[in-house]
A = this chain, B = another copy of it.
Amino acid sequence: MKENKEIPLAGVKEIARRADVSRATVDRVIHNRTGVSEKTRKRILAIIEELDYQPNVLARRLALASRGTVRLGVLLPSASEETEYWKAPLEGMNRAEAEIRQYGVLVSYYFFDQNLQSTFTAQVNRIINDALDGVLIAPIFEKESIQLLNHCKEKGIPCVLMNSDIPGMERLCYIGPELFDSGYLSAQLAHYCLQPGRKAVVVNIARKIKRNVAILEKVEGFQAYFREKDSEELLLSFHTTDTDYDSVASGLSALLEKEPQIGVLYVTNSRVVLVAEWLENIGRKDIILIGYDFLSGNIRFLEKGYIDFLICEKPQEQGYRGIMTLFRHLVFSVTAHEDYLTPIDIVTSANYKFYRN
């Protein structure tokens, strides 16, 4: 009934003793380095196998600590008044930074304004200029991001993408949600909640919608679900590039007047807070509201009952993993070639207290 694996925990020293060689030679074998005769290599490998040798990560890191500083750069939007969303990834990055500072890792942040492409370009140039060892990118502006990725490829600088992906580009990995599924899941929730005879609306509130991958993929996922359920006729949509309350409110009011049987609103980003405000003002708690991100404003309306579901994709973890992936790649040559698709979490007024970003 009781499992108890006693492990002798043999180290390099013991292996060296058994193989009758020096620790340096064992080290060479462990790291697949050249300069060891085939015979010795085989002998050592056999012993490693036999002892089920597990390197002591601690000691390894400590020994490596003497190496020079590794400089990482992060290109991400600054948390604006408009949305505090980007605070979360930044927190995750800071957490990672604190953890690995001791190994001589230095992280520099290059913030840009999501609404101003010029600030993005400027920071791209600074990154190129600073000749970093690794880069973590939130590729909000696709064209310029591709430029940066190409530059890094040329220089052999590893890049990790986060938040949204650029298909087909060479990079270490992508860390973030599968956006299509995020929309698809939202549609599923919408569909569950839709009372007979009522309709669902996709609401896009963003300066740029046309080439905004993050939004478009979610919309596609959402529509795909309704198509599968043969309920496409239940689907309306609403777009506005004016992201202030008044534009949103008047636009939606007009729509509601025309289509009074609206039962669900799906807002494709964190601006759901504006719609919640509008619902509160017109006193319509009965309309189901689905939106994005674990932000204080959104949580307030979740508590009040105007927002019903928030879709959250672990932004803090995204930041944390982004940094750690680069770190492990650069310092320990541990490379994650696989993308990390974050969970797509459903947060309601009944479970938000326990949610962890």
- A contact residues vs B (CB 8 Å cutoff): 1-4, 6-7, 9, 54, 56-59, 61-62, 65, 78, 101-102, 106, 108-112, 123, 126, 177-178, 181, 184-185, 188-189, 192-193, 195-196, 225, 288, 308, 341-346, 348-351, 353-356
B101 touches A9 (CB 8 A): yes
- Copy count, this protein chain: 2
B4 touches A348 (CB 8 A): no
Indicate the member of A9, A288, A346, A351 with the most B CB atoms within 10 Å: A351
User: Which residue of B1, B4, B9, B181 is within 8 Å of A351 (Cβ)?
Assistant: B181
By a CB distance below 8 angstroms, the chain B residues around A355 are 343
By a CB distance below 8 angstroms, the chain B residues around A102 are 9, 54, 56-58
By a CB distance below 8 angstroms, the chain B residues around A78 are 1
Known: A59-B62, A181-B353. 15 other contacts (CB 8 A): A1-B112, A1-B123, A2-B110, A3-B109, A4-B106, A7-B101, A192-B192, A192-B308, A195-B196, A341-B353, A342-B354, A344-B351, A345-B345, A345-B351, A346-B348
A354 touches B58 (CB 8 A): no
Please name the residue on chain B nearest to A341 by beta carbon: B354
Cα A193 to Cα B308 in complex, Å, equals: 13
Cα A28 to Cα B62 in complex, Å, equals: 22
Cα A110 to Cα B62 in complex, Å, equals: 36
B185 touches A348 (CB 8 A): yes
By a CB distance below 8 angstroms, the chain B residues around A350 are 181, 184-185, 188, 225, 344
Please name the residue on chain B nearest to A122 by beta carbon: B1
B351 touches A346 (CB 8 A): yes
A-B contact pairs, 17 of them (CB 8 A): A2-B109, A2-B110, A4-B106, A6-B106, A9-B102, A54-B101, A54-B102, A62-B62, A181-B351, A192-B193, A193-B193, A225-B350, A342-B354, A343-B351, A344-B351, A344-B354, A345-B346
